[in-house]
Amino acid sequence: MGYKNDFSKEEVKDKIINLLLSTGREGMSNLINHMDKNGFFSAPCSGGNHLAKEGGLAEHSLNVYNIANDTSISIMGFDDVCKFGDSIIISALLHDLGKIGQFDKPLYVDNILKSGKRSDAKPYAQSTDLLKVDHEVVSVVEASRFIQLTEEEQFAILYHNGLYAGLGRSLNGNETPLQILIHFADMWASRVVEGEGESNE
Ligand SMILES: [Fe+2]
Ligand SMILES: [Fe+2]
C-alpha cells in the first residue's frame, strides 16, 4: 500500500546519501563511509519478516524517511517542519543503523539449515558472534561515533519501537513529537507498506 518504490539499490543508496549529506552535520561523510563499508546498503531489514532481502535495510530506511517527512508536512506547521527537517532525516534514516551489526561483525548472516541449504522462509538469522544488544541501542552508539546526535534525535532513535520493546517501559508518559513521528513511520513502513510485521529477529 502506497510508498512502494521501484528504485534500484543504487538509486536508494544515492537518495539516502544525498539526504544525509544535506543536513551538513559534521562527521556525516565519515558515517556514510562506515555505513557503506559495513553493509548498510546491502543488509536485509530482518531475518524472515519485512524486506528480508539484500538491500532491504536501506529500502526500509528510505520508506521510513518518506513517510515521516510526508506526515510531518500534514500534521505540523511550516515552522515546525523546518525546525525538525534535519532531525527527521537523521532519525528516520539512522533509526535501524544498529541492524548492520557492530565491532566489524554483521548482525544478519545467511540462515543455513541443518540440511546445508539456505532457508527460503527465513533467509537470514542474527549472528551468534555478537552479544545481544537491542538494535536501537546500537544505532545510537554507532551513529554517535561519527556525528553528534541532538538530544531529540537520540531519544527518537532509542525509542523508535515505542511500547513494543523492552525500553518502552521508560517511554510511557515521556513521548516526544519526533519520537512519535518516527515510531509511526516505522510501523507504517514495516507493517503496511512492506507488508509484514516489524521484527527484531
Ligand atoms: Fe527498528
Ligand atoms: Fe525500522
For residue 186, give the ligand nearest its CA.
Answer: 2
Condensed to tens digits (0 to 9), the pLDDT of residues 126-136 reads 999 999 999 99
Query: Letter for the amino acid at 128?
Result: T
What distances in angstroms separate CA 52 from CA 22, 28, 56, one per listed residue?
A: 29, 27, 6
Residue written as grid cell 524517511? 65
What cell does 78 get? 511550516
For residue 60, give the ligand nearest its CA.
Answer: 2
Please give the pLDDT value at position 4: 66
| C-beta atoms surrounding 33 within 10 Å | 11
Condensed to tens digits (0 to 9), the pLDDT of residues 30-54 reads 999 999 999 999 999 999 888 999 9
Cα 167 to averaged position of ligand 1 atoms, centre (Å): 12
Cα 115 to averaged position of ligand 2 atoms, centre (Å): 31
Please give the pLDDT value at position 198: 46
- Separation between Cα atoms, residue 57 and residue 63, nearest integer Å: 10
Per-residue DSSP letter, 108: E
By DSSP bridging, strand 108-110 and strand 124-126 are antiparallel
For residue 135, give the ligand nearest its CA.
Answer: 1
The residue ranges of every structural domain in the chain are 9-193
Cα 191 to averaged position of ligand 2 atoms, centre (Å): 10
* Cβ pair 84, 57 in contact under 8 A: no
Cα 161 to averaged position of ligand 1 atoms, centre (Å): 6
Q: Per-block average pLDDT, block size 10, for the chain (201 residues)?
A: 78 97 98 98 91 94 96 88 91 98 95 91 93 96 98 98 89 95 96 69 47
pTM summary value: 0.93
Average pLDDT score over the chain: 92
Cα 193 to averaged position of ligand 2 atoms, centre (Å): 12
